[in-house]
Amino acid sequence: MTLEERARKIKLILMDVDGTLTNGTIFILPNGEETKAFNVRDGMGILMAKQAGLITGVISGKTSRTLLHRARRLRMDEVHEGIQDKKAVLEEILRRHQLKPHEVAYIGDDLGDLEVMRMVGLAAAVADAHPLVKQNCHYLCKSEGGRGAVREFIEFILTSQGKMEDIEAKVKHLLDPPGENINQ
């Protein structure tokens, strides 16, 4: 089965957070709270997936108020933090949404992602992923974690599903509303 055939079946996109949605850097504030930085292009990709009718979510081994805030802003459907057994969470998500593993895409970067990656229909790794993760993916991103890899993967899925042109038109309409042009 080709990558495009795999991508056409996807209804749910799940992702790891640290090293995938972020570059893996954790900032520790003076009060001891941890925070992280997210890439706006990845966020736009997630919103594009939502516009296309796909379910989106994260499964993270860590917990973070920053992640909860970001996931809420991006209207993610599934947010699972502090997870040691990502496979069990995936199985629960599949049951709730009545999906089959081949209808799920997952993108990750490290050893904790391998079990889920081996279960899903379309597994991706960020460019700077652990070598074993790269060996076990279907799609290897050109972009590194936290630097547009999630967006790249989502655009591949949307293009394979023939939804990218509609999404581009919707985004263009949002960015260029009818009315007065301020540049004139």
Residue 178 has pLDDT above 80, yes or no: no
Question: pTM of the entire structure?
Answer: 0.90
User: Domains in the chain, please, with CATH?
Assistant: 3-164 (3.40.50.1000)
Who has greater pLDDT, 105 or 1? 105
Q: How far apart are CA 123 and CA 104, in angstroms?
A: 8
In this structure, are residues 40 and 150 in contact, taking their beta carbons and an 8 Å threshold? no
In this structure, are residues 60 and 166 in contact, taking their beta carbons and an 8 Å threshold? no
Q: What is the pLDDT of residues 7-44, one digit of tens each?
A: 999 999 999 999 999 999 989 999 988 889 999 999 99
AA identity, residue 106:
Y
Residue 158 has pLDDT above 80, yes or no: yes
Helical ranges in 35-184 per DSSP H: 40-51, 65-73, 86-97, 114-119, 131-135, 149-160, 164-175
pLDDT at residue 183, rounded to an integer = 47
Q: What is the pLDDT of residues 56-114, one digit of tens each?
A: 999 999 998 899 999 999 999 999 999 999 999 999 999 999 999 999 999 999 999 99
